[in-house]
Each structure stands twice: as structure tokens, then as C-alpha cells.
């Protein structure tokens, strides 16, 4: 079966004061029907920019797709008109944005905001859209949906606002749901509830999910495959469990080492958390013909600073763009 989404050699350029920078550099990946994959990496690595490109929401005037293709259900979205992209957004491809408090309109009730999507894409009447909004609030497990449908965002907790965002995203039963940091700023209990909700909704509707996160724990909880991004490039890709147990890129290994572990025996001395030294390079350094992680890497050799590493291929589709992948 053909993948539902296929991104081929995608390059996204962003105009900056220092010139044009490739914020996404030669990215390729596939998403199968009903599959759940995660993009993981530090802030500024290009995760959210990839999602915006798929949605056709790159920043006006300063952002553009320079090359590559985004094939959704056989259609190249890089050649689609703005009208076609508007038809797809919220209908075939939906996105949960990072901050529900700023993404929801504060002057409209949550029911009105859900109903608007249904009126636009499903052409439902006012009463039918209102009733469907109540059903969606119930589906995302908001108590007393008939009463809460008339609430404004400020009357809801952070977790409830996030559930409203999920309800809006799933209103038209999209084929792809992009979740950009869906549990940021939520406490651990609410995070677990959101993950359970996404799993159940995926099972019910057969929706494919792309989850964007910097949290390796969330990746282990939710995804089947992960794509590790660094400075606009794909550092490593493969099955989640395989990468967690046998990371082949020093950056991936560093991300995993940053996650705290609960000791099985409390009498054992807690292991020190490690950190990745330095920061992600600035946009002006993106696109250089070298390993962009080299300045922060404890395995760096001379050729890392002179030439971009190729992808080394391992079992089960695991790939790592590192000169020393076999040794990691």
C-alpha cells in the first residue's frame, strides 16, 4: 500500500537578516495509514516548520519551499492552490497547535469554535453543528459537555483547553493529525490522559498522527517510529524501541541520556543526568557542508568538520547521519 504522506527531499528556506537560510535541508520521510510517528529534537531544529509546510502555513514573504515534494494521498501539495490547501486544512489534515490558550479565540465560546469548522467543511446548519460540537466535547472526555459547550476558553483548565483543540482538529475526521507539543505545560496526570485520548481516537477514526515534541518520554509513550531532527536535518530515523535501546547518532544518545530514570531500588545512588553541551547553531550556519552537531559532539573527528555525513543504514529501517554511526 502506498504511504498516506510522502515527503521527498524537502528544502525550506527562510529569509533572515543574515541572508537566506535552509531551515529544513533535504528531509525525506513517509507516514503510513493509521501510523503514529514522532519528530523529536531541541527547539529550533525544524520540527514545527516541517508541520507548517505540510499544512501550507509557512510564514508569508519570508518562508518558502525551495525544492522537494509533499505527496498527500497521491497529490503534490507543493503545487496545490491556496484554495485547495484551505479545503484540506481542518478537513483532511488537522493540527493541534502548541498553546491552546493563544490558539483558541477568547471572545467566542468553545462550542462556537468547534461548530465553525463543521459549518465550513461539513456544511452543517447552525443547530446540527452545535449538537455535533457537544458530541465532540463528549468524545474528548470533557465532563458535562452540554453545559461546557457554552464556556469561554478562560473558564477551562489547561488540560480542558487542550481537549477542545483536539476536538476542533478531529471535527471532520481528518486522515492526518499533527500534534505540536500536545502536552506542553500540562501536569503529568493530564499528559497521560491526553495520550490515552489520542490513542483511543486514533483507534476509533484510523487517523495517522505526527507528534512533534522535545520529550523522549512522550515519544516512547506514543510513537511507533521517530525522526530525530537537528539543525534542519534528519539525524536519525527508525523504530522507537530500537533507537532507544541502540541509538546510532551521538545527538540521539544525548537526548536519551537527558531523560531522568526512576531507580528500581531506592537504596541505589541516583545516576547523574548528563547534558548535551552547547546550543543548536544559528540559522546562518544551517546548510553548511559539514556535520552541524560536530561542535557539540564528544565523538567528533576531522572529517565531521569538513563534509556532511551520509546516512548509515541498519536493521528495520534505522538510519543515522553520522560518520561514526557504527561505533555509537
For 263-284, letters b (16+ CB in 10 Å) and e give: eeeeeeeeeeeeebeeebbebe
Residue partners of 81: CB distance under 8 A and separation at least 6:
none
Residues 41-83: pLDDT tens digits?
Answer: 998 899 999 999 999 999 988 999 999 999 999 999 999 999 9
pLDDT at residue 305, rounded to an integer? 96
Q: What mean pLDDT comes out for the span 279-290?
A: 91
- What is the side-by-side order of every strand in the sheet holding 19-31? 19-31, 5-16, 63-72, 75-76
Total-model pTM:
0.91
Look up the CATH number of domain 32-62+81-92+176-327.
3.40.50.300
pLDDT at residue 325, rounded to an integer? 97
Smallest CA-to-CA distance from 294 within 284, 308, 282, 283 is with: 308
Share of the chain above pLDDT 90, in %: 71
Domain ranges of the chain: 32-62+81-92+176-327, 96-171
Smallest CA-to-CA distance from 233 within 12, 19, 5 is with: 12
d(Cα 63, Cα 49) in Å, to the nearest integer? 10
Per-residue confidence at 198, pLDDT binned at 50, 70, 90?
confident
pLDDT at residue 270, rounded to an integer? 55
d(Cα 42, Cα 218) in Å, to the nearest integer? 14
Q: What mean pLDDT comes out for the span 15-26?
A: 90
Smallest CA-to-CA distance from 45 within 234, 183, 220, 218 is with: 234
pLDDT at residue 191, rounded to an integer? 83
**Would you give the distance in Å from CA 317 to the centre of its chain?**
20
The answer to whether residue 273 scores a pLDDT higher than 90 is no
The answer to whether residue 259 scores a pLDDT higher than 90 is no
Amino acid at each position: 500500500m502506498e504511504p498516506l504522506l510522502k515527503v521527498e527531499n524537502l528544502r525550506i528556506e527562510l529569509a533572515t537578516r543574515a541572508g537566506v537560510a535552509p531551515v529544513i535541508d533535504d528531509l525525506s520521510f513517509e507516514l503510513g495509514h493509521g501510523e503514529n510517528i514522532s519528530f523529536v529534537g531541541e527547539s529550533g531544529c525544524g520540527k514545527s516548520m516541517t508541520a507548517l509546510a505540510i499544512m501550507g502555513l509557512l510564514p508569508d514573504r519570508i518562508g518558502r519551499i525551495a525544492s522537494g515534494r509533499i505527496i498527500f494521498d497521491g497529490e503534490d501539495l507543493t503545487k496545490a492552490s491556496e484554495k485547495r490547501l484551505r479545503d484540506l486544512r481542518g478537513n483532511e489534515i488537522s493540527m493541534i497547535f502548541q498553546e491552546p490558550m493563544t490558539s483558541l479565540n477568547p471572545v467566542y465560546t468553545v462550542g462556537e469554535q468547534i461548530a465553525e469548522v463543521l459549518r465550513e467543511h461539513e456544511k452543517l446548519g447552525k443547530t446540527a453543528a452545535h449538537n455535533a460540537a457537544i458530541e465532540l466535547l463528549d468524545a474528548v472526555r470533557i465532563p458535562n459537555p452540554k453545559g461546557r459547550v457554552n464556556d469561554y476558553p478562560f473558564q477551562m483548565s489547561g488540560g480542558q483547553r487542550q481537549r477542545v483543540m483536539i476536538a476542533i482538529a478531529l471535527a471532520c475526521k481528518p486522515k492526518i493529525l499533527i500534534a505540536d507539543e500536545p502536552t506542553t505545560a500540562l501536569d503529568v496526570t493530564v499528559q497521560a490522559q491526553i495520550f490515552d485520548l489520542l490513542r483511543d481516537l486514533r483507534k476509533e477514526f484510523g487517523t495517522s498522527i505526527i507528534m512533534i515534541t522535545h520529550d523522549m518520554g512522550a515519544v516512547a509513550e506514543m510513537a511507533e517510529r521517530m525522526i530525530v531532527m537537528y539543525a534542519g536535518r534528519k539525524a536519525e530515523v527508525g523504530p522507537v524501541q530500537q533507537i532507544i535501546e541502540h541509538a546510532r547518532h551521538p545527538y540521539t544518545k544525548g537526548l536519551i541520556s537527558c531523560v531522568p530514570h526512576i531507580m528500581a531500588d531506592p537504596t541505589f545512588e541516583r545516576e547523574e543526568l548528563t547534558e548535551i553541551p552547547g546550543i543548536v547553531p544559528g540559522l546562518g550556519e544551517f546548510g553548511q557542508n559539514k556535520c552541524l552537531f560536530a561542535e557539540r559532539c564528544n565523538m567528533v573527528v576531522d572529517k565531521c568538520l569538513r563534509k556532511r555525513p551520509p546516512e548509515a543504514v541498519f536493521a528495520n529501517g534505522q538510519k543515522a547521519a553520522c560518520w561514526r554511526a557504527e561505533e555509537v
